[in-house]
Amino acid sequence: MKAISIENISKKYILSHKKKKYQNLKESVSGFFEELFTNKDEEETKEVFWALRNVSFDIEQGDRIGIVGANGAGKSTLLKILSRITEPTHGEVKVNGRMASLLEVGTGFHPELTGRENIFLNGAILGMRQNEIRSQFDEIVDFAGIEKFLDTPVKRYSSGMYVRLGFAIAAHLEPEILIVDEVLAVGDSEFQKKCLGKMKDVSSSGRTILFVSHNVTAVQGLCNKAAFLQKGKLVKYGEVGDVLHDYMASISKFQLQQHWDTPEVAPGNDQVRIKNIEVVPDFVNGGKNIDVRTPLKVNFEFWNMHASAHLNLSMFLYNMTGECVFNVGSQAKTFSNGLVKGVLEIPGNFLNDGSYYISVMIVKDTADPIFFMEEAISFDVADYREGTNWYGKWPGAVRPINIPIQTWKVDGLL
């Protein structure tokens, strides 16, 4: 059964650009009267902006849909239309079932009211009945962990308490269709964990979820389908892995290869010239983009201009914050002039997810760096995990799964 069917939805906004004509109060007053008498039109230009354009797709009951896209792709507009906050310019949406949308945590909280009063207020705003709230009251308070501050006005709450209380109320909604916007962007990692855990519970109970997030890992873990929006258009809709692959390919700015055909145009100096540097992923698991499991090969070729040079290669892997993850060097060898090739193999299940870049140094006589090619190539490593319910950012510069932790039972007594 279809839970939601979206047919040809478009949403138009009109942006008016008013030229600022007056710089100060005096000018604007005199300008106002001038206009009044001369009937001069304001210099105003209007621009039509389509936040969504002809978006159509169907959502089956029990589907968990992740909506991904860059900022301004129309994700929030789509959610606003689905949750009936704004209406589409064209098109039609059919919704079957009780729907609740959570576009913000703690909507309608009044700062002067106490936590207790706000639970009832917020619950009612989200569409819960008073007796429903009453029966879940203790659970909500417990989930938020604010027993002590129940009768304190929320304006005195810390921002963390405020967000926890807001989410706790929303988490106890029991709709058939749940629409969630980037609520995970707020709060500490502890809170994010709690949110995702709760969403997982909701999804396993067979309810339909629509979920907007920039956290690709969370989308991958929670959703079975995804929709990829770009500039208001639906680029792809379908199985979550396929859609995320397209999405990731569209946002990453990585450069997997740099290549020069002749030594004349290539970077370098009179001793060495760079021909080629590339990273080649080895997709063993039938994947399409580089994730933490993928083994990588870095190929490096350069022209050696000297008749005889004692050279070695040194490769640096940096993460996006500029920290060096590792630096490895090759054995120094003596080369006659001509093309030299080096290969670095980075095993799978070693790097953490994130963006990386590689710099290469060519060293003469094991001590004298003759050429340093900085930020030669860059690539993204996507996250992948299984057998866990946690989708927060995995910490660490590397994620070496091959370093095992073992556990065993030592004693039967407590």
Q: Using CB under 8 A, which of 108, 238, 267, 400 touches other proteins?
A: 108
Residues 123-152 within binding reach of other proteins (CB under 8 A):
124-127, 129-130
Q: Using CB under 8 A, which of 53, 64, 75, 80 touches other proteins?
A: 80
Which is closer to other proteins, CB of 178 or CB of 373?
A: 178
11-28 burial, b if ≥16 CB within 10 A, otherwise e? Answer: beeeeeeeeeeeeeeeee
Q: Using CB under 8 A, which of 95, 195, 222, 381 touches other proteins?
A: 95
Which is closer to other proteins, CB of 3 or CB of 292?
A: 3
Site for other proteins (CB under 8 A): how many residues? 39
Supply 295's token pair: 């083994």
- Cβ neighbours, 10 Å, residue 175: 19
61 binding other proteins? (CB under 8 A): no
117 binding other proteins? (CB under 8 A): yes
Q: Using CB under 8 A, which of 43, 58, 87, 138 touches other proteins?
A: 87
Which is closer to other proteins, CB of 104 or CB of 246?
A: 104
- Cβ neighbours, 10 Å, residue 38: 8
Minimum CB–partner distance for residue 76 and other proteins (Å): 11
Q: How far apart are CA 318 and CA 397, in angstroms?
A: 10
Q: How far apart are CA 126 and CA 121, in angstroms?
A: 9
What CA–CA distances, in Å, run from 17 to 22, 23, 46, 178? Answer: 15, 16, 6, 37
Minimum CB–partner distance for residue 398 and other proteins (Å): 41
231-262 burial, b if ≥16 CB within 10 A, otherwise e? Answer: ebebbbbeebeebbbbbbeeebebebeeebee
Minimum CB–partner distance for residue 359 and other proteins (Å): 47
203: three-class secondary structure by DSSP = helix
Q: Are 43 and 18 in contact (CB under 8 A)?
A: yes
365 binding other proteins? (CB under 8 A): no
Instruction: Choose one: 96-104, 189-197, 267-275, 344-352; the region binding other proteins (CB under 8 A).
Output: 96-104
| The Cα angle at residue 214 between residues 249 and 168, in degrees rounded to 5 | 160
Supply 200's token pair: 């997982």
Site string for other proteins, 5-44 (x = CB under 8 A): --------x-------------------------------
Which is closer to other proteins, CB of 101 or CB of 217?
A: 101
Which is closer to other proteins, CB of 67 or CB of 311?
A: 67
Which residues contact residue 84 at a Cβ distance below 8 angstroms, ignoring those fewer than 6 apart?
none
Q: Site residues (CB under 8 A) for other proteins?
A: 13, 80-99, 101, 103-104, 107-108, 110, 112-113, 117, 120-121, 124-127, 129-130, 153
